[in-house]
């Protein structure tokens, strides 16, 4: 991974709300938008916006389950390292 790509990923993940969302997903493996919103006491629209940004950068994978959109982690070394780093500060 090049430094400019790494910097872009870090900027995307670096938002406090996105860090909370990532930690929620890290602890559950796969979780749907409404469940994240409820757990973090955030609106579905805000959570959805953050999830789309994380997904666009490849930090999450979206999975449709009927009418629900759920998110899970890709099998990526960067994501595994990110989990180790951010969730100790939660």
pLDDT of residue 48: 95
Q: Is 0.95 surpassed by the pTM of this model?
A: no
pLDDT of residue 89: 63
Domains, the chain, ordered by start: 3-89 (1.10.10.10)
Nearest alpha-carbon partner for 84 in 9, 23, 8: 23
CB 50 within 8 A of CB 15: yes
> What's the CA gap between 52 and 80, in Å, rounded?
19
All residue ranges of the chain with pLDDT < 50 are none
> What's the CA gap between 59 and 39, in Å, rounded?
20
Q: Model confidence over 73-89: pLDDT tens digits?
A: 998 888 888 888 887 76
């Amino acid at each position: 991974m090049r430094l400019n790509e790494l910097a872009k990923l870090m900027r995307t993940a670096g938002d406090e709300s996105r860090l909370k969302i990532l930690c929620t997903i890290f602890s559950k493996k796969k979780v749907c938008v409404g469940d994240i919103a409820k757990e973090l006491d955030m609106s579905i629209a805000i959570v959805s916006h953050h999830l789309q940004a994380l997904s666009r950068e490849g930090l999450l994978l979206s999975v449709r389950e009927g009418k629900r959109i759920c998110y899970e982690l890709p099998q990526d070394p960067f994501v595994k390292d990110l989990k180790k780093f951010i969730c100790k500060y939660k």
